[in-house]
Amino acid sequence: MAFPVPSPSSTRSRATILRGCAVVLLLCPLLARADDAQASRLREVGRMAKFVPDVASSRLRTMAWQMAGAPAPLRTDFLYYYSTAERGIGDLTHALDLADQLISFGRRNNDNVALAKGLVARANALYVREDLAGSHATAFEAERVAGLTADVPTKVLATVAAGQSFEEQGDYPAALAKFHAAVDLARQVTTDAAPLAAALHALVLLYLNMGDLDKAAEAQQESLAVARRMASPGHVAAALGDEYALAVEQKAFERGRRALFEELGLERGIGARQMAVTTLVNLSDCYLKEGRFRDAQTYAAQALDAAIDARSNNDVATARVNLGQALLGQGHLSEGKRQFEAGLATYEKQGDKPELLGVLREYGRALEHAGDYKGAVDAYNRERRISSEIFAEQRQKAVLELQQKYEAEKKQRRIDALRQENRAAKAELDNRRLQQRVWWLLAAASALASVIVGMLYRKVRRANAELEEKNVQLKRQGALDPLTLLYNRRHFQDVMARAGDERRTGGDADAGALFLLDVDHFKAINDSLGHAAGDTVLTTVAQRLRVALRDTDLIVRWGGEEFLAFVPAVAPGELEEVALRIMRGVSVQPIEYRHGVVPVSVSVGYAPLPLAFGTTPLTWEQVVNLADMALYLAKSHGRNCAYGIRGFSAAAAVAASLDAIERNLEQAWRAGWVDLAAVRGDASDADMPLPLPAQA
């Protein structure tokens, strides 16, 4: 299974490549020469922003105080590079904040170059956050603003971003026109080859998506030549990745492998860990395509270790699937199926059904080839079930879209009617004023006109108030999960972002704790009773959580059968009591469904917020990750229980990293690095402490 190789079933992967690789080739525009040493240093770090974002982020952070008073061109490129690096390491909140700073800087100084680059940076961050509509609108605005400037590299940058947006929308003719325009613009730049490399890179990938291999090969030949002339390992590695994608489509596997081995050497040389993971995955997949299962196993195992080190869950899942396929190809049924199922579990948890469908199809073929016909039939049945679910979801989505369109048109008609009424009221008021001037001496008529004017004014105000109330209702509905009517994940992220802003500006952000809970055996309920029963369980759990928690607590449908509760203003010593109240509140009695009952319980992981590791305060995302690891402990130690993080020992920050603690929370507890609490959910054993694993 090749993540970056274009194929009919990998549209989302291709889009990720476009956003992840093409735009980064423009990270090195000409800098102002106000300070040559400073500009040279910034340009050097800028080249690293995508390929080795962790190193670039660290260096850019140390340059922040110097850049605060730097000339406008340096300040512009600093904020653009910094946003790109933060996006590369996954800190989307900071990446968006830096992009917004650049947008404000451009508008405040009437600097369209800065404004266009800020808009492109924002569009890229929104894309990674999967806000495609916002990303595309911002990219098109960036192209419009860049067109007002005389800066050709900036025009190329924005034109490529607009072309990518058209491609993601499926409008290939418009995308092709944009990329050709970007290539023509980039040929005008004689002092920097990066704009041309970026435009050619995007053009190659579009031709691959369109299936036009001859034109893709022609563009790729020039793209690779331009990258080699630049003598930039990162740019050459990106071009070699395109060379592999083209070679696979042409069934030239040996040529593709040569490109991958050269690419891997360059990536390791510059420390581009994430790029190296993708290359190792592609190597294992290339060998799988030729049936060389032992070689495929070797590189899939290397890809798995590298993906775990880079903390890339998607690549971990892909590497496990490739490893499982290689083992099955060699007849190792038990271990091969174990690796395949582990990869499938990640896709199932993410809810990526199209990707899961393709993996199950490969699983069935591999099992059939290995002689496990029963397993192949089971995989086929799972594939059919998911295919049916996707069809049902698409049909439901179409119905909902029609309903939403009808409601939108209905609301628009009401708004138009109100506006017409306002215009009529204004005309009536104008007429009454004219009558007042004409009949000034007629007191009775004047009084009557005043009464009518007052009535019309109140009517207009009432109509405007109704319209405002409807707008508030629409905004509130967008923050709710449609099944449980709890807040959704996007609303929680907005709340946390506002809380972060308050902390940065000296405001009083609420302190408390995050509780992450998962319905026990939910998959078994769905499989045995059907999805309608699962929906009943989820809505009932949501109702019971409202009863168990306070009105001031924020309850969120986190995804699937997972819920998240943010409990502000709670003392550290009361967290176990809150966890117990949640578990007992959910399992207070079985849920009635049709003519029977469904027992239900939850497992809980929790942690205080704010929380510090040594002297470093953790972000709310890191606290959620720790709560998720505590939830995993609860699930693996019998379910219907809660594990919570009270804090870290004084030696933890010296003896270990936060990454190591997140990877194995139980081992970290044994080592004395983390203080854990455990609570049993069974009412009958409420007074019995839940034992933690023996500490070494």
Helix axes 293-310, 313-329, angle to 10 degrees: 160
Token code pair at residue 175: 């995308």
CA distances from 293 to 276, 289, 299, 327, 365 (A): 21, 9, 10, 7, 14
The full DSSP string for 312-333 is: -HHHHHHHHHHHHHHHHHTT-H
Q: Both ends of the chain: CA-CA distance in Å? A: 41
CB atoms within 10 A of CB 396: 10
The full DSSP string for 191-216 is: S-SHHHHHHHHHHHHHHHHHT-HHHH
β-pairing, 487-488 with 554-559? Answer: parallel
CB atoms within 10 A of CB 525: 23
CA distances from 447 to 393, 429, 442, 564 (A): 63, 14, 9, 61
Task: Give 424's Cβ-side CA count (13 Å radius).
Answer: 10
Q: What is the DSSP letter of 681?
A: -
The full DSSP string for 7-49 is: -TT-HHHHHHHIIIIIGGGG--PPPPTTSHHHHHHHHHHHHHT
- Distance in angstroms (rounded) separating the CA atoms of residues 513 and 569: 8
CA distances from 31 to 27, 60, 115, 187, 432 (A): 11, 16, 16, 19, 64
What sign does the CA torsion over 5, 8, 14, 16 have? negative
CB atoms within 10 A of CB 440: 10
Q: What is the DSSP letter of 676?
A: E
Q: Which of 202, 208, 215, 157 is nearest to 175 (CA)?
A: 202
Strand partners, 678: 643
Residue carrying structure tokens 């759990």: 541
- Distance in angstroms (rounded) separating the CA atoms of residues 494 and 13: 27
Q: Kind and range of the H or E element at 607?
A: strand 602-609
Q: Which of 107, 108, 139 is nearest to 122 (CA)?
A: 139
Which residues are identified as catalytic? Answer: 561
Taking a C-beta distance cutoff of 8 angstroms, is the pair 596, 527 a contact? no
